[in-house]
Structure 1
Amino acid sequence: MTSASSESLQVGTCMKKLMLILLFVPLMFACSQGDAVSQSAKAQAIHEHERCHLCGMMIKKYPGPKGQLGLKNESIVPKFCSTRDMFNFALQPENKRQITYLKVHDMSVADWENPDDNTFVDGASAWYVYGTSKKAVMGPAVASFATKEGATQFAQEFGGAVLTYEQITIELLAGE
């Protein structure tokens, strides 16, 4: 083998290694970004004097489940005095595509009068009871639960229809 062909072989081998490294760099960043998203998806505490992102009312002053959500490219976390207000915001077409996560109280373990920040669950996989006799701040409550069983038990006791996240619509909330 000549010196030129040996050099050419070494350069080719180095190029292959460099190409493999360049292929793996984006994957490494993708993994680290996934961790960042899961960190931001943790529910934040609702403080005593925080106001609802939609209506401006004091969040902790009223009973019933609360909500919060993450928005793409935003560091603020909009928080809501009720899951009803959260849905009224989240279901707007201009907001819907910007949402990265939703959090709602699991009312099967939270106190209705004063839900605890440690009881937040994923709003997209939660179950809801609409039309219940239990009242919240902004009209009929949209009671949220981590499980279908929790929602069903609540509906049997206080009335209302058990719904999935996908079944909550602007029309439903408007009473149409």
Structure 2
Amino acid sequence: MKKLLLILLLVPFMFACSQGDTASQPTQAEAIHEHDRCHLCGMMITKYPGPKAQLRLKGETIVPKFCSTRDMFNFALQPENKRQITHLKVHDMSVTDWESPDDSAFVDAESAWYVYGTSRKAVMGPAVASFASKEGATQFATEFGGAVLTYEQITIGLLAGE
């Protein structure tokens, strides 16, 4: 009887430990500081214009941050990285300044809309401009050119110019 009672007492603890790291990870974006460097290319993030990005990885406390949404996609679309990502954030460029995006303007990257092929430049060439709404992306594309795409339509081939 003691063994059964002990097992019944331990069961809730076992379930608590097996919930995984994603439940305890915050989904809010972290601030990008003046000396933060891009997780992919190592460039100083705040020195350059255009939308920035960040993500969270399973079991990690460090938040990889990116100097551009292009770098975020180049990292996130790699098969070995894709399955480790729990959250992705990008700037909503319809509510923040292109030259210096504000940390309060981060939105969920997978539900965001993107403008690819715009005349606006970011860190290393053409930007992949991010927006919370299709309307914001369409308005930007009308003014600066480019194609309005969903998260799923951005591929490594597209980023490579194929």
Q: Which has the larger radius of gyration?
A: 1
Identity of aligned residues (%): 75
Superposition RMSD in Å: 2.1
Counterpart of 1:36?
Answer: 24
| Partner Cα distance (1:35, 1:93) in 2 | 23
Q: Is the 8 A contact 2:22 2:59 kept in 1?
A: no
For residue 157 of structure 1, the aligned residue among 143, 146, 149 is: 143
Counterpart of 1:76?
Answer: 62
| Partner Cα distance (1:104, 1:26) in 2 | 36
Once the 2 structures are TM-superposed, how far is the Cα of residue 109 of structure 1 from its aligned partner?
0.4
User: Scaled by the length of structure 2, what TM-score is found?
Assistant: 0.88
| Partner Cα distance (1:126, 1:30) in 2 | 31
* 1:47 is aligned to 2:33: yes
| Partner Cα distance (2:30, 2:18) in 1 | 24
Structure 2 gaps, min length 5: none
Q: Match of 1:71, as an amino acid? A: L
Q: Is the 8 A contact 2:22 2:86 kept in 1?
A: no
User: Scaled by the length of structure 1, what TM-score is found?
Assistant: 0.81
Superposition misfits of 4+ residues, deviation over 2 angstroms? 21-31, 33-37
Q: Match of 1:147, as an amino acid? A: S
Q: Is the 8 A contact 1:84 1:138 kept in 2?
A: no
* 1:91 is aligned to 2:90: no
Three-state SS of the structure 2 residue aligned to 1:110 is: coil
Three-state SS of the structure 1 residue aligned to 2:81 is: helix
Q: Is the 8 A contact 1:85 1:138 kept in 2?
A: no
More helix by share: 1
Q: What is the aligned length?
A: 158
